Amino acid sequence: MEYAGNPESEIHGIAAEFQNARELYHAAEKLRDEGFEHWDVFSPFPIHGMDEAMGMKRSILGKLVFFGGLVGFLLAVAMQFGTSSFLYPLIVAGKPTNLFTVPAFFPIIFELTILLSAFTAVFGMLLMNGLPRFNHPLFNWERFKKVTEDKFFVAIEASDPKFSPQPLKALLESLGGTNVTVIHGD
Amino acid sequence: MSEATATVDKVSREEAKIVRPPLVLNQRTMGWISNYISSIIEGKTPFWWYAAMAVTVPLSLMCFGMLAYLISTGVGVWGNNHPVGWAWDITNFVFWIGIGHAGTLISAILFLTRQKWRTSINRAAEAMTLFAVVCAGIYPALHVGRVWMAWYLAPVPNSNAIWQNFRSPLLWDVFAVSTYFTVSILFWYTGLIPDLATIRDRCTTKIKKFIYGVLALGWRGGNRQWRHYEKAYLILAGISTPLVLSVHSIVSFDFATSVIPGWHTTIFPPYFVAGAIFGGFAMVLTIMIPACAIYKPLHDLVTHSHVDKMCKIILLTGSIVGYAYLMELFIAWYGANPYEKAAFWYRAFGPYWWAYWAMMFCNVVAPQFFWFKYFRNNWIWVWVLVQFPNMGMWLERFVIIATTLARDFMTSAWGMFHPTIVDWCTFIGTFGLFTTLFLLFIRFLPMICMFEVKAVLPEADPHYGEARH
């Protein structure tokens, strides 16, 4: 079988190329039904409905962002009431410094909620995706470079309990995959 | 099997034609999109780019020179003086920040409303947002006078343990604008990651590969990444929408929460937001039309339909702005407040009458041409006509700020604003800075969001060519 990377090093997994989103989608459905665990499909753009085809649940990022936003909200409340009502109350332009000041504090509460939500969304996304990273065994495969252009790939990792190269090659080819390749590390 | 698929493909293509005009013309493939957009970055730097930079770089240097002069000498080098204490600095600040809003509108609001045509213009519009906010940020940062004291705005107590006045609209502004800038950068960069990976995978030289490789953060395009990515993008769009509306509302609070007649009105927040979108779309067209004229194949991605839709948005928001102008006048009369009445009388017939009527023409009359398909479809006309909103929105801020302050409650506090040469050079310089940043962007980053355009192609649908049910 063809291989990519350094054949002496550990096997990362086995990968196959597909020609379009439709083939990839149906391949994902089959692999999901076969019960694979450590695998992924790669595409130049997000494919609508692929989460269901792979049998994955909704991303939990939304829940994380709620807590990020909450932290921003509490931070702004603490910062404004803490300093203006407790640390150094100072009446400027006749505006009160007690709890009735909420309308004047509202804009900054809003902005900080947004700011911390955005930080959580972006950095949470990167963290859950295992990014940033400099290299990955898949990058050893020359054909994989087309994944950001117009080709589609399936990769099943060696850590999957059902991993064994030869039957997998046959399976991937039966799903329409071409150029089935074993991916090694560096 | 393959023949059957081909027939079905053909059927669905015919079907697609009936349903909706395609977003990408000439049946361009995914490979073409990557190749063409990346070739703009990978190719030899064209001559026009150097020629344009030869104009814009000196202009931005002039801007920095003027700012250095301002810092070393004092704010007196600007024409601001009693009674017009806010003049070109705040006019230009509001002008630039307003321009930025169209970028966020395109990337966030049109995303949430599933307007797929936005995909080919959102990257450039977001970049425009960032560069406009950079230009905007210069003014409030520098108009504080002693710039080295600007940290007083940060939530840190001063040496007398006094904290910032969080009840002041000026501090709201600091938080709003800095949040806006930060979130815009995050949004823009998040959108860039998959495209930077495309450039990385195509790079031929080691240095480029390293730079784009680091910038792409190791993106691989697996669905386990895409699902978090899409979620993050959706959330960013969801929070940017209220953010962009809040930012210009807060900018308008700078005026609306004061007690100056002509400023103290509740109509300001919606009217400022509509004006910002109006001026911002004009600026998007101002830079996109020349870009498409230079890179002709972009016509397949930025089509007549895109420009047509943007013209319609300009027409709509321009009419909202026109309505707001008339409503202001009506309320000034109907409200029976003599000071309010006088303020609007001076706007229209006072010393700055020319600015008021020029604004009326640029913002209310000129966009009405877009009712006609002829003007919306002729890109030269479009480019000429959108210069009116560009000018008009600057004039609007000038009218609101300068004419109001020039006629205070008491005649003894009346005075005119005269811009100095430093005012002029700084303002012209910011255009140089804006254009320089945009030229750098065109040269080094993909100006069309490749992965999103690929995703709106018919074959991106996982059920493409299958029988419909």
Q: Which residue in chain A is spatially nearest to B217 when comparing CA positions?
A: A132
Contact B227 A56 (CB under 8 A): yes
Which amino acid is present at A59? S
B161 to A88: CB separation less than 8 angstroms, yes or no: yes
Nearest residue in chain B measured CA to CA from A24 = B462
Q: Which residues of A touch B161 (CB under 8 A)?
A: 87-88
Instruction: Scan residues 185-214 of B and list those with Cβ closer than 8 Å to A.
Output: 186-187, 189-190, 194, 197-198, 200-202, 213-214
Amino acid identity of residue B111, one-letter, is F
| Identity of the residue in B217, B222, B451 whose CB atom sits nearest the CB atom of A45 | B451
Quick one: closest CA in A to B225, which residue? A129
pLDDT at B85 (0 to 100): 86
Burial of B283 (0-12, 13-18, 19+ CB in 10 A): buried
Could you tell me whether strands A39-42 and A11-18 are parallel, antiparallel, or unpaired per DSSP bridges?
Answer: unpaired
- pLDDT tens digits along B15-64: 655 556 677 776 778 888 888 888 888 888 889 999 999 999 999 999 99
Indicate the residue of B179, B228, B451 with minimum beta-carbon distance to A111: B179
Sign of the C-alpha dihedral, residues A136, A141, A142, A147?
negative
Inter-chain touch B230–A46, beta carbons under 8 Å: yes
Question: Is the CB of residue B242 less than 8 Å away from at least one CB of chain A?
Answer: yes
Q: Which amino acid is at A52?
A: E
Chains A, B: CB contacts within 8 A come to: 223
Count of all residues that appear for chain B in the document:
469
In chain A, the percentage of residues whose pLDDT exceeds 90 is 26
The tally of CA atoms less than 13 A away on the side-chain side of residue A27 is 30
Listed in sequence order, the residues at least 6 apart from B11 whose beta carbon sits closer than 8 Å to its beta carbon are none
Say which amino acid occupies B382: V
The side-by-side arrangement of strands in the sheet containing A39-42 is A2-4, A178-184, A11-18, A152-157, A39-42
> For the whole model, what pTM was predicted?
0.89
User: Min CA distance, A171 vs chain B (Å)?
Assistant: 20
The answer, for B253 touching chain A at a CB cutoff of 8 Å, is: yes
Listed by number, the residues of chain A in 113-172 with a beta carbon closer than 8 Å to a beta carbon of chain B are: 114-115, 117-119, 121-122, 124-126, 128-129, 131-136, 138-139, 145-150, 155
DSSP string, A161-184: TT--HHHHHHHHHHTT-EEEEEEE
CA A16 to chain B, closest CA, distance in angstroms equals 13
Q: How far apart (Å, rounded) are the C-alpha atoms in residues A109 and B367?
A: 37
Mutate to test the interface with B, among A51, A122, A133, A151 (most CBs of B within 10 A): A122
Instruction: Tell me the C-alpha distance between B205 and B208, whole Å.
Output: 6
Q: How close, in Å, is residue A98 to chain B by CA atoms?
A: 12
The shortest CB-CB distance from A45 to any of B218, B239, B460 is to B460
The encoded tokens of residue B291 equal 């870009």
Chain A contacts in chain B segment 337-366 (CB below 8 A) = none
Chain B partners within 8 Å of A88 (Cβ): 157, 161-163
Domain boundaries along the sequence of chain B = 29-150+164-460
Low-confidence spans in chain B with pLDDT less than 70: 1-21, 26, 467-469
Q: Residue A20 is nearest to which of B189, B239, B459, comparing CB atoms?
A: B459
As a residue count, chain A comes to: 186
State the smallest CA–CA distance between residue B326 and chain A in angstroms: 29
Return residues 18-57 of A near B (CB < 8 Å): 20-22, 24-25, 28, 40-51, 53-54, 56
- Residues sharing a CB contact under 8 Å with residue B317, sequence separation 6 or more, in sequence order: B274, B275, B277, B278, B281
> Do the Cβ atoms of A21 and B462 come within 8 Å?
yes
What are B295's two structure tokens?
């890179």
Among chain B residues, the shortest Cα distance to A80 is held by B166
Q: What is the pLDDT of residue B179?
A: 94
Omega cis (within 30) before A103: no
Residues of A in contact with B162 (CB under 8 A): 88, 90
Instruction: Give contacts of B1 with chain A, Cβ < 8 Å.
Output: none
Residues lower than pLDDT 50 in chain A: none
Nearest CA in chain A to B163: A83
Q: What is the pLDDT of residue A115?
A: 95
CB contact under 8 A, B167 and A111: no
Rounded Cα distance between A116 and A64, Å, is 11
- Looking at domain B29-150+164-460, which of 3.40.50.300, 1.20.1630.10, 3.30.70.20, 3.50.50.60 is its CATH number? 1.20.1630.10
